[in-house]
Amino acid sequence: MILIFVASLNENMKLAKSLQEQLKNENLNSEIINLVELNLPMYDTLKEQNDGIPTKINELSEKMDKAEGFLFISPEYNFSLPPVLVNTIAWLSRIGDDFRSLFALKKIQLATHSGSGGQDALNAMRTQFTRLNAIVLPREILTTYTKALNVESSQRIISQFANIVKG
């Protein structure tokens, strides 16, 4: 199972659905996780102390633990990552004794649809997930309003991702 995390709606969700079809063609089951619809409270240590870990985060961590790999699709917000993605990772890092455990040695494919260039978002995700001990694939999928998805290229990238995930 591949979990597809989408950090915004509209164009990034369209990209997620397109890439989900490509995963299906590679005989990989996947599930789209819409981070916006999780509607998580902003992470704060006092909120965690008073209210505990949100149920949705515990459920998500169980799915992540069982997943073979992740596909993160995020727009670029002000040359970095959107708050919904950063917040979700903050909550996930509070599960268990090792803040890296849900990401350790998981294979991650990165993608973006951004109104601007998108490369800063991809670089920010690569840095964060690498430091969380994940295996981030070298090629990325990048689309903008002026640069449509190159289906042939994305199929090659998704095929390589599938081969690595399947081991």
Confidence of residue 116 (pLDDT cuts 50, 70, 90): confident
pLDDT of residue 52: 96
Work out the average pLDDT over 89-102.
94
Work out the average pLDDT over 10-30.
97
pLDDT of residue 34: 98
- Which pLDDT tens digit goes with each residue over 68-95? 999 999 999 999 999 999 999 999 999 9
> Looking up tokens 């890296």, which residue turns up?
100
Contact between 148 and 11 (Cβ < 8 Å): no
| Residue-averaged pLDDT of the chain | 96
pLDDT of residue 74: 98
DSSP category for residue 81: -
pLDDT of residue 167: 86
Distance CA 137, CA 127 (A): 12
Q: State the sign of the Cα–Cα–Cα–Cα dihedral 66, 102, 137, 20.
A: positive
Q: What order of strands is seen across the sheet that includes strand 135-144?
A: 30-34, 2-6, 69-73, 107-114, 135-144
Tell me if the pTM is above 0.95: yes
